[in-house]
Amino acid sequence: MFHISPELRQIQSNALCVYDTELTEFINRKVQVLKLQNPEPVYTDDEINEMYEQLKQVNITETLKREQHKQSLKSSATKEAACVVCHKPVSQKVKQYCLSNKNFNGKIYCFDHQKTIPTRKQSV
């Protein structure tokens, strides 16, 4: 039991004095006031579900992107380049040559398989 002297109950300030016997009533009154001020729920159940679904999807996308980003970092960090046909490792020079060669469509070929790629002039 809180004891609050009668003078304190009349206190004029932003501080609020509530008797414990009045506390439940006070809270109920406050809830009622809030309900009156917001007659409609801020969000419907459907809207909440929709937001939840969207968040879930975004999160999955972020996870995938993170994984892709990690993979791309890994592959560029190791700097390994290999022929797309025989998977034989090639040097950085070969890799750069292949990537700059438009006939290769951004793919990397070893010396042997570079010869098998038709140039644009040949493939009519």
Applying CB under 5 A, the residues found at the interface with Zn ion are 83, 85-86, 110, 113
Task: Please list the helix, strand and coil fractions of the chain in percent, rounded to the nearest 5, in that order.
Answer: 60, 5, 40
Q: Which among 69, 86, 66, 65 is positioned nearest to 77, based on CA atoms?
A: 69
Work out how close the CB of 88 gets to Zn ion at its nearest, in angstroms, rounded to a whole number.
5
Instruction: Indicate the residue among 12 and 100 with the shorter CB distance to Zn ion.
Output: 100
Work out how close the CB of 84 gets to Zn ion at its nearest, in angstroms, rounded to a whole number.
8
Question: Which single residue brings its beta carbon nearest to Zn ion?
Answer: 83
Instruction: Indicate the residue among 18 and 85 with the shorter CB distance to Zn ion.
Output: 85
Work out how close the CB of 44 gets to Zn ion at its nearest, in angstroms, rounded to a whole number.
60
108 neighbors 87 (Cβ within 8 angstroms): no
Q: Which among 60, 107, 64 is positioned nearest to 85, based on CA atoms?
A: 107
Instruction: Indicate the residue among 95 and 113 with the shorter CB distance to Zn ion.
Output: 113
